Amino acid sequence: MVREVDQAAIRRWRRRGFYSETVLVKVLEKNGYKAVRVPVSNPSLSPLPDVIARKDLHVYAFEVKNARYYAYFPRKQVEKLFRFLDELIPGPNEYKHGVLAAHLGKKWIFKQIRWEDWEKNKLPEKERIIKRDRGNFDLKMGS
């Protein structure tokens, strides 16, 4: 009996993530980006973001969380964004962006992580976005 409840909870949790990723793709497209959801972006060792987007010469790798009041992004997930951008996207780093996206109710908050923090191994164990945060990434401006 407990196992059935656990499976149902996991399905609901995954559906929430899928929903937020799909909504983010639509939001990005409305703001002039070309965007796709990466369907295999489950917790794995592969350096794949949840959503990949492009606007002009810039490429964006998004890690997406759906929460009510706050979202936590473990260091490993943030590192995967930069591994993806570094290993699989050619070009200078100034055109590649790792962005955390928190879907908090109807509100989106975006936080761009600095390349220097990743390169110098200064990423915190967890990045946190709280509903009252402003974020440091503007979709309309692209940074």
Count of alpha carbons within 13 Å of 50, Cβ hemisphere only? 24
Of the residues 41, 44, 46, 143, which is catalytic?
Answer: 41
44 is catalytic: no
Give the other-Cβ count within 10 Å of 32's Cβ.
12
Residue among 80, 16, 71, 14 at smallest CA distance from 52: 80
The catalytic residues are: 41
